[in-house]
Amino acid sequence: MFWIMITIIAVVGILTDTYTRNKKIDLKRLDKEIELEKLRLENYDKETEKMKLELEHTKQLLLDTHSTSQSGK
């Protein structure tokens, strides 16, 4: 009976340790996913800002071209 109790305690300890390790791995994975999502959002914001600047630049070029062609008439 004593050996059965020792075996049960050992098995429960091993299972608990495995469960704890898996949860720690899951937490690390979630942290990495959050970090990746933050980087994606930052990249999206930068690309959006770049596109806004390019659009403004193109708009200004068109306005300059239009005003130049009108002043030449």
Interval 10-39: pLDDT, tens: 999 999 999 999 999 999 999 999 999 999
The Cα–Cα gap between 72 and 27 comes to: 67
Give the torsion through C-alpha atoms of 55, 59, 64, 70, to 10 deg: 160
66 pLDDT band, cuts 50/70/90, is confident
The Cα–Cα gap between 69 and 73 comes to: 7
CA nearest 25: which of 62, 5, 53, 17? 17
Predicted local confidence at residue 21, as pLDDT: 97
